């Protein structure tokens, strides 16, 4: 019953993504959440490590940011990396994900969504028919409403591991 929240791939961090396996699966585009996926929420700028990672990914895939955060946050993080980026994306709604994939020239089944939240990122990616990749949130210190969601996420993932 939680199927729409189950990621296809569950890994610790974006750096653990098996890019070769994704290419073999026919994935052409990667859509990234920012907060707690690429960098912690409190980190405004992209650091050297994540910049290098994105630059490497750009050689293999079309890449984009699909974030629910405000324009200011997304623009500042993206100022040097300059990915195609959407702010206030409205995840778990799939609409923006589908538009971004189309813009990048990838079908939903050729697109992977990478995020740290089941009820926004993964739900949106699954609804859109994309491959979904869940990463563990980088920073565990989160706002109370997100911590509550994390408890619910744990319950869903317990079920996921038992299937
Ligand atoms: Mg996030």
- In this structure, are residues 111 and 131 in contact, taking their beta carbons and an 8 Å threshold? yes
pLDDT at 18: 96
Q: C-alpha distances in angstroms, 108 versus 129, 131, 151?
A: 6, 8, 29
Ligand 1 mean position, distance from CA 107 (Å): 23
Extract the tokens encoding 116. 């740290």
Extract the tokens encoding 10. 């569950």
Ligand 1 mean position, distance from CA 5 (Å): 15
pTM for this predicted structure = 0.90
Q: Three-state SS for 31? A: strand
Ligand 1 mean position, distance from CA 34 (Å): 6
- Share the mean pLDDT of the chain: 93
Phi-psi category of residue 90: left, alpha or beta, with phi > 0 → left and psi -120 to 50 → alpha: left
Extract the tokens encoding 113. 């969504």
- Angle ∠(67,40,108) on CA atoms, nearest 5: 30
Ligand 1 mean position, distance from CA 26 (Å): 25
- The burial class, CB within 10 Å (0-12 / 13-18 / 19+), for 37 is buried
Reported as a single tens digit per residue, the pLDDT across 118-134 is 999 999 999 999 999 99
The residue with tokens 């984009």 is 64
Ligand 1 mean position, distance from CA 37 (Å): 5
Q: Three-state SS for 159? A: helix
Domains of the chain listed by start with CATH number: 3-162 (3.40.50.1000)
Reported as a single tens digit per residue, the pLDDT across 56-81 is 999 999 999 999 999 999 999 999 99
Residue stretches of the chain with pLDDT short of 70: 1, 142, 161-163
């Amino acid at each position: 019953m939680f199927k729409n929240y189950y990621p296809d791939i569950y890994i610790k961090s974006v750096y653990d993504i098996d890019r070769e396996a994704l290419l073999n699966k026919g994935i052409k585009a990667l859509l990234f959440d920012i907060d707690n996926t690429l960098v912690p929420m409190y980190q405004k700028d992209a650091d050297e490590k994540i910049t290098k990672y994105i630059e490497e990914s750009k050689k293999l895939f079309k890449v984009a940011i699909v974030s629910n955060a405000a324009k200011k946050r997304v623009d500042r993080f993206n100022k040097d990396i300059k990915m195609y980026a959407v702010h206030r994306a409205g995840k778990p709604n799939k609409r923006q994900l589908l538009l971004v994939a189309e813009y990048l020239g990838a079908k939903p089944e050729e697109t992977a969504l990478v995020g740290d939240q089941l009820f926004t990122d993964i739900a949106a990616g699954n609804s859109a028919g994309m491959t979904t990749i869940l990463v563990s949130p980088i920073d565990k210190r989160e706002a109370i409403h997100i911590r509550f969601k994390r408890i619910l996420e744990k319950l869903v993932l317990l079920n996921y591991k038992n299937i």
